[in-house]
Amino acid sequence: MIFNSPVFVIFLVIVFALYWTPITRNGTHRNPVLLISSYVFYGWWDWRFLSLILFSSLLDFYLGLRLGAATDQGKRKRLLIISMVVNLGVLFFFKYFNFFLGSFQDMLGVGELSWTFRIILPVGISFYTFQTMSYCIDIYRRQLEPTKDLLGFMTFVSFFPQLVAGPIERAKDLLPQIQALRPFSHDNAVLGCKLMLIGAFKKMVVADRLAPLVEAIFENQTEFSGLFNVLGAVLFAIQIYCDFSGYSDIAVGTAKLFNVDLMSNFNRPYFALSLREFWARWHISLSTWFRDYVYIPLGGNRGTLALHARNLMVTFVLSGLWHGANWTFIIWGALHGGFLIVERFIGGPLKRTPTLVQWAITMVVVLVGWVFFRAQDLAHAMEYLGHLVPNGTDLGHQLKRLMRIPEVSGFSLLATFVFTAFVLVIDKLSISPRFVSTVDNNRFVRYATYSTLVALVLLFGVFTDQAAFIYFQF
């Protein structure tokens, strides 16, 4: 079940009605409704993997109680190690076992093994694993008291709006909201519907219409010139932003229907003037997780420049590996870590350059990184980067080839670029108090804006069960 499917709309209406029905007015039945609904939501994909969520929930609930009660530091450390080893062990098996096995056999030059595991990657395992681990870590650090509410904790782990692709919430922020008897909020519900509409527009109208263009260029990079391959990288940057931020908007909006506030995951990342600023704006819940649980424990920016560089590189290589079992993601993470180190060494001179230059340098690094992120493997990435220079092929011929793709037409191509520009303009205008005030306070502007978005989604949205969100694979 995915957010951009009719099944989810029906599911959400039913859950909303059950959650706010007078029967649950005193709140005693709300968490059971959310928990059962969340398990139905996840089990719709593959019911067999519900056992993993249940196991992770029960394990960390129990270990959290033991951590809270333990006074001996050695015992507390052992309990934390158990949580991390088991959670990371499960994650490693499902996500990385075959990758490391294949890399090991390639390194030894032994050829293909006669056996392998047919492992299916559970959707969202990277997200809820990090969420449960942070719960035990925070208790260990004495930053959080363990909960005795098993039902509430299980709901926190499996909360369906953010279960499969985040945001990765901390227990101290989300768990109290789930446990509290919060009344229905008309304002939050209205805001939630607006966010869901904006997210649907980003995903169905922009990201899904860009997908065939990106696919055509990335899968046929040798047949296009440097200009078209640069365009492919730019379009993928827009696609993944609209896809993932669209998901996050729908997730945050859906949670608001239940009067639950999730953290914002994006803050206009493509307007960043440095890579450090980019990571303060992109996938904020993940970047702050790695900051708090990897980068700072390693030492952060304390100590020598060499130690700081090591901490940055380790953090971003692990971040890349978190995204997928492929060397392309590791290189993507290392590229970002390496340039952050460069920024650390020459940050002063960079900041003294014109704003446009700072932005251009940042975007070049981001776009090169997206090539690795999108490529099938390292060979594909290097070949694509090698064709970023012009090859002398007639641009008109390349455009005709692009237009022969069934999903591409002159009108759809023009509409896609117009809608992409629209998203970027709205992102930029959203920081303007005057713009926000005009939309929120002027009834005519408000109705016109959201009616137009509804019409655009219905007229130009891609309605297909195959248009899954990109981050579902992580």
Catalytic sites, residue numbers: 323
Amino acid at residue number 360: A
Token pair listed for 458: 């219905």
Residue 16 neighbours by CB distance under 10 Å: 17
Helix H, strand E, coil C: the string for 29-83 is: CHHHHHHHHHHHHHHHHHHHHHHHHHHHHHHHHHHHHHHHHCCCHHHHHHHHHHH
Token pair listed for 58: 């029960």
Contact yes or no for 244/450 (Cβ under 8 A): no
What is the rounded CA–CA span in Å between residue 280 and residue 274?
A: 10
Number of helices (H), then strands (E), in the chain: 22, 0
Residue 167: asked if its preceding bond is cis (omega within 30°), the reply is yes
- List the one residue out of 272, 266, 212, 278 whose CA is nearest residue 241: 266
Phi, psi of 326 (to 5 degrees): -155, 140
Contact yes or no for 92/65 (Cβ under 8 A): no
What is the rounded CA–CA span in Å between residue 426 and residue 414?
A: 18
What is the rounded CA–CA span in Å between residue 1 and residue 42?
A: 8
Stretch (H or E) spanning 393:
none
